[in-house]
Structure 1
Amino acid sequence: MSKKLIVVVGAGPGIGNHVAKKFGDNNFRVVLVSRNQDALNQYVEELNSQNIEAYAVAADAASTESVDAAFEQIKKEFGPVDLLVYNAAIVQGGRPTSLTPESLLTHYQVDVVGALRSALKVIPDQVAKKSGTILFTGGGLALHPAADYAALSLGKAGIRTLALTLAEELKPQGVFVGTVTVAGGVKKGTHFAPELIAEKYWDLYEKQEEHEIVYS
């Protein structure tokens, strides 16, 4: 039986790579996507050293053209995507009155628009085979917005709404959509250690009962 394919957009040493490792340990092929090719190569090498089949595709979640090109490459080289995990976000402070229209749009492009664009690149194949999963990394700021993180609060509210509305639309077509709402700061050696959070992505994927897990 061939391995399923997981694509993680927003690869990095925190949640992204630990989710990749969790699924890789469970017989998935892994494609990591982020802007920095050098960092991606290092992440792939680390996963390969743990007997996980992993590959890298560089793309900028802030650019629709870059996202499109990445998924075209992924489909050509690796085939249809069984599981998409969108983990990209601009984690930056700033109060509402410090935002400009331009800065807010920059945040929203990565936090929400990139998520939708990535999902739209995999949905047609998943609907065609009536099977597939899309998971988004949410945040507690969607539930409890903070003035010091106004743009990120707006972004996490947006991606939560995107996840739940996509879930409603796509469930009858055999595609499961969910979000892990991480209500705390990710930090190694704590309750919010990335490897513990990664377990919740696996739970959501395996059970496919609720469309949101709030990790608090």
Structure 2
Amino acid sequence: MGCTIGLHGVLVGAGPGVGNHVAKKFGDNHFRVVLVSRNQEALNQYVQELKSEGIEAYAIVADAANPLSLTEAFDQIKRNYGTTDVLVYNAAVLKSGKPTSLTAESLVSHYQVDVAGALHCALQVVPEQVKQQSGTILFTGGGFALYPMADHASVSIGKAALRNLAFTLADELKPQGVFVGTVTIAGAVAPGTHFSPERIAEKYWELHVNREEHEIVYS
């Protein structure tokens, strides 16, 4: 289905919540999707679920904490599926804890996944997107970027940095035809509520299609 149209999306940080629902949303709109996460067994299950709904889906194992692992994954994606038209970065370390419970080392290890991994993935797709003067890069943000809390210090710091990465990347890449945006989820994701993954996934599609505002705060 996706192959005939040739649109190709990559989602880093696949999982049963927002990630897989975003993949489904793009798949329903004629994208073939490649899911990336650390767990091969879980990935296989996610791919089967998408395929059962008529979506062309593939899986590649990579660790968002490991730049070399991500580089190898995107090299494989380029070889097998071509240019990434849409990249969604949905990986994060969601660990609670006050600032004084952190160490410099633990904060940096979280930052590697929350922010540096997002930049690294973007850098894997930007050259080809710039070359074709089109493409979309979307990040999963969080309300702690706007309203930091002591009990969630690391996530608050990471999401604030990710938000700034989205805005600065957007500023740099917009003249070259590449759109960058972030969905700032200001609430706890839960099925059957206002913060259901299905509702939130709609906002990623909205950003991709409209290409106007660089942030949707979902509250």
TM-score, normalised on structure 1?
0.99
Q: Secondary structure at the match of 1:94?
A: coil
- Which of 178, 191, 194 aligns to 2:194? It is 191
Q: Distance in 2 between matches of 1:152 and 1:109?
A: 12
Moved over 2 A (4+): none
Q: Secondary structure at the match of 1:18?
A: helix
1:152 aligns with 2:155: yes
2:125 partner letter: V
Q: Distance in 2 between matches of 1:28 and 1:104?
A: 36
Query: What corresponds to 2:96 in structure 1?
Result: 93
- Which of 7, 10, 15 aligns to 1:12? It is 15
Query: What corresponds to 1:141 in structure 2?
Result: 144
Query: What corresponds to 1:53 in structure 2?
Result: 56
Query: What corresponds to 1:114 in structure 2?
Result: 117
1:19-58 maps to which residues of 2 (within 5 A)? Answer: 19-58=22-61
Query: What corresponds to 1:67 in structure 2?
Result: 70
Q: Distance in 2 between matches of 1:131 and 1:61?
A: 25
Q: Distance in 2 between matches of 1:146 and 1:63?
A: 28
1:92 partner letter: K
Q: Distance in 2 between matches of 1:4 and 1:159?
A: 26
Unaligned 5+ segments in structure 2 are none
Q: Distance in 2 between matches of 1:184 and 1:5?
A: 30
C-alpha deviation, 1:2, in angstroms: 2.5
1:168 aligns with 2:171: yes
1:213 aligns with 2:207: no
Identity %: 68
2:134 partner letter: S
Q: Distance in 1 between matches of 2:48 and 2:185?
A: 28
Query: What corresponds to 2:181 in structure 1?
Result: 178
Cα deviations by residue, 1:10-66 (Å, 9 ceiling, x for unpaired): 000000000000000000000000000000000000000000000000000000000
- Which of 102, 106, 117 aligns to 2:105? It is 102
1:140 partner letter: G
Q: Distance in 1 between matches of 2:38 and 2:187?
A: 25
Q: Distance in 1 between matches of 2:172 and 2:41?
A: 38
The count of aligned residue pairs is 216
Q: Secondary structure at the match of 2:195?
A: coil
CA RMSD of aligned residues (A): 0.6
C-alpha deviation, 1:3, in angstroms: 2.6
Q: Secondary structure at the match of 1:31?
A: strand
Cα deviations by residue, 1:91-133 (Å, 9 ceiling, x for unpaired): 1101000000110011000000000000000000000010000
